[in-house]
Amino acid sequence: MLRVTLLGLAVLPLLGAALLRRRWAVYLLALAIPLKTLDVAVAASHPFDLPELALLVVCGHFAVGVWNRRSLRLDRSTTVAYAFAFAVVALLTVLSLAVRPANVLVHPYDVATGFGAFELARLSFTSTNVTQLFLRWFVVGGAVVLALTMTRREVRVVTRWVVLSAVLVGLFGVAYQASVLLDAGLADALHLLGFRRFPASPSVVGPLPRMYSFTGEPGATASYLLYALAIVTPLALSNRANDVFRRGEAVVAGVVLFVLLVLTTGTTGYGGFAVFVAVLVGTTLVVETVPTRRVLALSVAGVVVSVVGGVALLVVSGVDVTSMLAYQLGKLTFSEGSGSLRVQYLRYAFELVSVRPLLGLGVGTHQTTSLFGTILVETGVVGLALFVGYHLRAFRDCAMLETDSASDRPLAVALAVGGLTLFLTLLVARSASALQLPWYWFAVALPLAYTGSAVRDSSRDS
């Protein structure tokens, strides 16, 4: 049975218009990036959100272009080869599972991950394996298709929107936190319009409620804010932000995003910020687009401000500062809370992969709290190497892009830093559901698209 939500009725005409023009489809998908929790329709008990439907429209335009032998931009790059090889390996793992499943206990996808939910079942071939296989193909292939259909101008437009929409997402998250404190019922009103209901969650950082937003739960929201911050910061430091943003826009957005990231109460954001600093410093040492001193000074200032500000907030609210900081540090070092849970799942993942180390147990067999553990168990060492190589090669090629245009290099580095920061954070701190985040698709697609368009323009000029 098909059921269309209230806001779904409003966006259906937009999806119809996107079917007419490729550029409209790309921009609609970009517009839908933060609207991960907006379900357009529900069919066969599965909610279809706006980003998923928009990506399907983009893939449709690409298929039509291939059929008509136009707008076909199949770059013969190592990155695309890695992605295709990973898709093949994923298929082989499912076929192997169907023929000869391993005699092991796994954590099924229909069982929730969490404290007290480490339930195991005998491995067997089910429809979930086929569903998850198609999902892997959809997200990996969809990101590549999106990259192959985007122009350089569209990359710039989408990059600016990613940053500005992240600011809007964070500000709404603050409004949600205020509504919880005031018992205003904002979440109930959004649910009536078609957004997924935000569950009530206790505070984890002093008096602050957990920050839910259009992007979902605090960890997902923090990952989006982190990705936007990781893009805008290198651009602002390179003094080339005006090539993408309006005057002063990047600096203001960067400061606001940093404050909002602290307010998310999500350990994903706090740990991800440390990853961002490491990636930014490392990239700066290799690629000379941003002054190293400026990066180091900003990194130190960011850490100091976040720690001092957090301690001040806890002191003012009367919270035991020592115990709260110890708890947050324990989560970041995988010894407390969700951090210790990830270690539990990861240890068992290493036990399982030892049964079939090369190709793993099969896609859709074992759900963990980390994307790394899931890919390792399900596709083995070969699949994990291809999956990680696919991402690292895309970011490396973008960061090392050689171009004659002075405005191209800073944006290329910014897209690489943003993509690598998000990928490393999701790889450790998020489950396989992270592959369904729209900003993850663009984190891969934007560097690929920008590198590919630059290479094509260079070959055309020569």
Which tens digits make up the pLDDT trace of 160-176? 999 999 999 999 888 88
The token pair that represents 87 in the structure block? 């898709």
Asked if residue 330 has pLDDT above 70, the reply is no
Per-state percent for the chain, helix, strand, coil, to nearest 5: 70, 5, 25
In this predicted model, what pLDDT tens digit does every residue of 109-120 receive, in sequence order?
Answer: 776 655 445 677
Asked if residue 148 has pLDDT above 90, the reply is no
* Bridge partners (DSSP) listed for residue 216: 213
Rg (CA), the chain: 22
Residue extents of the structural domains in the chain: 1-72, 73-461
Q: Sign of the CA dihedral 429, 118, 333, 208?
A: positive
Least confident of 76-85, 116-125, 363-372: 116-125
Q: How far is CA 147 from CA 144, 306, 412, in A?
A: 5, 35, 14
Name the DSSP letter for residue 66: H
Q: Where are the alpha helices (DSSP H) in 400-437?
A: 408-429
Spatial distance between the Cα atoms of 164 and 158, rounded to a whole number of angstroms? 10
Decide if 199 contacts 37 (C-beta within 8 A).
no
Average pLDDT over residues 300-326: 55
Decide if 38 contacts 194 (C-beta within 8 A).
yes
Asked if residue 462 has pLDDT above 50, the reply is no
Torsion of CA 154, 159, 164, 165, to 10 degrees: 80
Cβ neighbours of 196 (radius 10 Å): 18
Which pLDDT band, with edges at 50, 70 and 90, does 178 fall under? confident
